[in-house]
Amino acid sequence: MCATFTDDDEGKRVVNANGEEIGMIQSVEGGAVHVDPDPGMADSIKSKLGWGDSDEETYMLDEDNVESISDDEVRLHEM
């Protein structure tokens, strides 16, 4: 899926392929999506998303990682 994000996606949960919440969409700016990660998210998931080890407040979500967008969540591909 080639994800197309809008301002309406702000506040949606971001979940992995198993349905576990990994964060929430903080903002959508010009198609760029910023995710506030769940504090308990594993470093291995952060690494797979290219979010590194830094303690950023929000991280960019690459739309290539998105499986689907529903009314209340963004689901990522299996990693």
Range of the domain at 24: 7-76
Structural tokens at position 10? 């702000």
Task: Report whether 2 contacts 14 (CB < 8 A).
Answer: no
Q: Is the pLDDT of residue 72 over 90?
A: yes
Pairing assessment for the beta strands 59-61 and 66-69 based on DSSP bridges: unpaired
Q: Is the pLDDT of residue 14 over 60?
A: yes
Q: Where do the H-state alpha helices sit in 1-79?
A: 43-48
Number of structural domains found in the chain:
1
Residue 33 lies in a domain: yes
Residue 21 lies in a domain: yes
Q: Residue 46 sits in a domain of what CATH number?
A: 2.30.30
User: Global pTM?
Assistant: 0.84
Task: Name the amino acid, one letter, at 53.
Answer: D
| Higher-pLDDT residue of 66, 49 | 66
Residue 58 lies in a domain: yes
